[in-house]
Amino acid sequence: MEKTKKKSVLSLFSNQKYIVILVVILLAAIFMIASADFRKYTTFVTLLDMSYYYVLMGIGVAFPLITGGVDLSIGTGMVCYALVGGYLVRNAGVPVIVGILVALLFGIGIGALNGVLVAVMDLPAFLATLCTCMITRGLGSLLTFKSTVPWPTDKQPGGWFHTIFKITLANNTKIPLGFLWVIILTIIMAFVLKHTKFGRYVIAIGSNKEATILSGINVKFFHIMAYVVCGLFAGLAAIPYASAIPTIQPGTGAGVELDAIGGAIVGGVSATGGSGSIEGTFFGVYVICLLKVGLPFIGLQANWQQVITGAILIGTVMIDIVKKRRAVATGQAVA
Amino acid sequence: MGEEILRMEEIDKSFPGVHALDHVHFNLNRGEVHALMGENGAGKSTLMKVLTGIYSKDSGKIIYEGKEVEFHNTREAQDAGIVIVHQELNMVGDLTVAQNIFIGREFMSGIKINDRKMVEESKKLFDRLHIEINPTEKMSNLTVGKQQMCEIAKAISHECKVIIFDEPSAALTEKEIDDLFTIIRDLREQNMGIIYISHRMDEIKVITDRVTVMRDGTYVGTLITKDCTKDDIVKMMVGRVIYEQPKEKSLVPDDAPVVLKVDHLNAGKMVQDVSFELHKGEILGFSGLMGAGRTETARAVFGADPKQSGDIYINGKKVEINSPEDAVHHGIGYLSEDRKRYGVVVQKSITENSTLACLDDYISGIFINKAKEKEAAETYIKELDTKTPSADQLVVNLSGGNQQKIVIAKWLVKNCDILIFDEPTRGIDVGAKNEIYKLMNRLASEGKSIIMISSEMQEILRMSDRIVIMCEGKKTGELKIEEATQEKIMDKATRDIK
């Protein structure tokens, strides 16, 4: 009896999901102890404000990652969708809701393109999405004639979409409502990954594609869908991005995807595919966001965030590899 | 034994250049375990692939439950009740046992997968098979034997009437094989038709009711297992006409020095306590069926795979070989059975491939001495009679036989005295084969010592001075060429060692 109990506690900590929650708490505690400014409510709101689009991208990219692929186009893609949507709102006078829908559809389209390139044309995911990364970066500039795009501010007409993420009360207290939405989306997508056919087959494709095909499953369709979902979430991420960044610059967004991918991997998504969780990704992304926001408060510049994130990533990937190697050594089948 | 459930008549199938199945017959009854036997390449797997719709047949009839059928893919065969348990397991390691069993046909409640029902149904399947496996366990945590049980559970969950086992015992332990047999007997009781493909003669005697033997894509005959002896089956398996004369006697003098001695080598499950000697100028044939551990032995000697124990002596001196680099240093060259993967860099020129293993000798200062490199390559092109317009030709543009010569050149440039040829003529046409044979004979007469692994009986008998036979990771015999016959070799290659 005692033995089983001990084992379950151990396995709790060998599960990356729980480790990463611990890391989030630990980081938050360190920054709060070290810096009085970090403890302020406004810092908390700022952190959450910038976290939404990272979390949404992280949730999306978890699906291609779990199939054993990746999507590098989500960063420049998100900026491209925000640019195009915003441009239509500003210059063509379409309602904000239409701008948002255009951004989502654009994201789904690029996702589908990625999916077809990877699942049907058999391009390596890295290569295919690197290409669409460049394409979306260029397209964003071209479609907006290289102009910067400001979405309506919250005082302007059409600025209602800011209230999706943040409500300002009469006494000027800000409620970060967006946090609720990302939590709800995390729960929904965690359910999709764990309890629907789509999620199950995404895991199966990443774990053993050949066996999945032989089980009579339409692997191409589900493989494409993984990228479509990722594209959709890049489109969704464009909304909080447009809300958080006052003026969107064409040609930016490269590198943002790496923070999202890094978050997913820190959160336990296997870099080689086959396993991972959305709730883990959620916390993993917050590790990255905490480092981004927190380190300047203890006197370390933003570049340190990149160095530390890189180091943490190496650590998590090594844990994954060592685990698999140990499984091989003890004679268990990994494939 | 019940009525007939399946009959295959006059099945014919050709691939470009190969007549894989030549009007083959096969029939199966309900409640019967029917063995399908034959050497490597006899056509057993092809026949089963035709049956389950993986290949389409060129002509012939498949009659199943009294009706003529034709399946276009495994799914159709499955739906009709014919399932195959593959030798390589088709499992998704990251999913649970239950999730694997019902993959592709999950129980749903709305859009949610009903995992609980899948677990319950899996439990029922395991009860029916009298085995204990936790359906919620992750597949990759199970042993190979347990994974195989899951494959069987998956098979019977299709409400199948015919199960094909393709060498199911290859990766199992003794205990697991016993469990497997219990299950197979159960299934037989349930009136299923079972096709059992295996090389293990003793298993055939224990578990099967009838044996059908195939050879070179043709049907040889069907025997009642209890009325026949192992010798009868072996005779049917090997009874082919030998077109080429076997070597009559060894060309190696009895007092030729031993250049390589391998003493009690152990490396994993596939190499158990293997000892042999190789004499100067000798061609030592390694015979055995697929999975006998011959390639594994060669790789362990060559340092490509780790070994647990055992000593290697070269020219009487004990040497440490822990990596291919060590082996090459001691003058051992290995010509892999999979040329494209391990033998040559196909997108590079003949010259670059020839000197790949010993680039150090072709360096002046920090640069590669191209002229010297080319000279060496051209010497060996001439010497081995390689057909190519120039030494700059990319290897990918050469024929299989000529590619093989490039691999040989690579090791000759390196001055290796011991050459291990692993299936040297696989995928090479007859004319080129003869050239490779001539070349090997010449190398041997010049004092090189050769280990030749081959699954072709004719090749073994034609080339070897001495033959080592392996079966399931163990050396089961050694024959001088003078005393070797197909029957003797096959007998040792199928011996089940307890």
pLDDT tens, position by position, A88-137: 999 998 999 999 999 999 999 999 999 999 999 999 999 999 999 999 99
pLDDT of residue B281: 92
DSSP code per residue over A265-295:
HHTT--TTSS---HHHHHHHHHHHHHHHHHH
d(CA B294, CA B312): 16
Residues of chain A contacting B, Cβ within 8 Å: 191, 195-197, 200, 203-204, 206-208, 210-212, 214-217, 274-275, 327, 331-335
Return the residue of A nearest to B148 by Cα: A333
d(CA B287, CA A159): 80
Q: Is residue A222 part of a domain?
A: yes
- Nearest Cβ partner for B103 among A204, A206, A274: A204
- Smallest CA-to-CA distance from B357 within B321, B327, B378, B384 is with B327
Q: Is residue A271 part of a domain?
A: yes
- Nearest Cβ partner for A335 among B74, B93, B106: B93
Q: Is the pLDDT of residue B243 over 60?
A: no
Q: Is the pLDDT of residue A3 over 50?
A: no
What is the CB-side half-sphere exposure of residue B456 using CA atoms within 13 A? 18
pLDDT of residue A331: 44
Q: Is the pLDDT of residue A5 over 60?
A: no
ipTM reported for the complex, 2 dp: 0.81
Is there a contact between A208 and B78 if contact means CB atoms under 8 Å apart? Answer: no
Percentage of chain B beyond pLDDT 70 is 94
- Measure the CA angle with vertex B456, ends B452 and B461; round to 5°: 70
Going by pLDDT thresholds of 50, 70 and 90, the confidence category of residue B341 is low
Q: Is residue A300 part of a domain?
A: no
Q: Is residue A32 part of a domain?
A: no
d(CA B280, CA B299): 21
Residue B7 CB-density burial (10 A; 0-12 exposed, 13-18 middle, 19+ buried)? middle
The pLDDT tens digits for B81-137 are 998 887 667 789 899 999 999 998 899 999 999 999 999 999 999 988 888 899 999
Q: Is residue A286 part of a domain?
A: no
Going by pLDDT thresholds of 50, 70 and 90, the confidence category of residue A62 is very high
DSSP code per residue over B377-423:
HHHHHHHTT---S-TTSBGGGS-HHHHHHHHHHHHHHTT-SEEEEES
The pLDDT tens digits for B420-476 are 998 888 766 666 777 888 888 888 988 899 999 988 888 898 899 999 999 888 999
Going by pLDDT thresholds of 50, 70 and 90, the confidence category of residue B244 is low
Q: How close B94 comes to chain A (CA, Å)?
A: 6
Q: How close B136 comes to chain A (CA, Å)?
A: 14
Q: Is residue A22 part of a domain?
A: no
Is B306 in contact with B267 (CB distance < 8 Å)?
yes
Q: How close A273 comes to chain B (CA, Å)?
A: 10
On chain A, the residues whose CB falls within 8 A of the CB of B111 are 196
Going by pLDDT thresholds of 50, 70 and 90, the confidence category of residue B410 is confident
Q: What is the mean pLDDT of residues B182-205?
A: 88
Q: Is the pLDDT of residue B380 over 80?
A: yes
Percentage of chain A beyond pLDDT 90 is 63
Is there a contact between B112 and A212 if contact means CB atoms under 8 Å apart? Answer: no
Q: Is the pLDDT of residue A6 over 70?
A: no
Query: What single-letter DSSP state applies at residue A160?
Result: G
- Measure the CA angle with vertex A65, ends A63 and A67; round to 5°: 75
- Measure the CA angle with vertex B297, ends B294 and B298; round to 5°: 90
d(CA A324, CA B4): 48
Which phi and psi (to 5°) does residue A130 adopt?
A: -65, -40
Round to the nearest angstrom and report the end-to-end CA distance of chain B: 31
| Chain centre distance of CA A151 | 22
Is B98 in contact with B119 (CB distance < 8 Å)?
yes
Return the residue of B nearest to A275 by Cα: B94
Please, where are the H alpha helices in chain A?
2-14, 16-34, 41-66, 74-87, 96-115, 125-143, 178-195, 197-214, 219-244, 256-266, 278-297, 302-329
Q: Is the pLDDT of residue B496 over 60?
A: no
The pLDDT tens digits for B58-67 are 999 999 999 9
- The set of residues, in sequence order, having a beta carbon less than 8 Å from that of B96 and lying 6+ positions away, is B135, B136, B137, B138, B139
Overall residue count recorded for chain B in this entry: 498
Q: How close B72 comes to chain A (CA, Å)?
A: 13
Q: Which residue, among A65, A66, A207, A324, would best test binding to B if mutated, counting the most B CBs under 10 Å from its CB?
A: A207
| Chain centre distance of CA B83 | 23
Residue A104: which domain range?
A: 52-280
d(CA A276, CA A193): 9
Q: What is the mean pLDDT of residues B230-253?
A: 72
Q: How close A216 comes to chain B (CA, Å)?
A: 6
Query: Considering chain A, what is the average pLDDT of its residues?
Result: 89
Q: What is the mean pLDDT of residues B24-53?
A: 89
On chain A, the residues whose CB falls within 8 A of the CB of B91 are 208, 211, 333
Q: Is residue A139 part of a domain?
A: yes
- Count CB-CB contacts under 10 A for residue A24: 20
Q: Is the pLDDT of residue A240 over 70?
A: yes
d(CA A264, CA A54): 10
Round to the nearest angstrom and report the end-to-end CA distance of chain A: 32
Return the residue of B nearest to A188 by Cα: B112
Domain tally, chain A? 1
Q: What is the mean pLDDT of residues A8-27?
A: 75
pLDDT of residue A332: 42
- Nearest Cβ partner for A334 among B93, B103, B106: B93
d(CA B387, CA B384): 9
Q: Is residue A45 part of a domain?
A: no
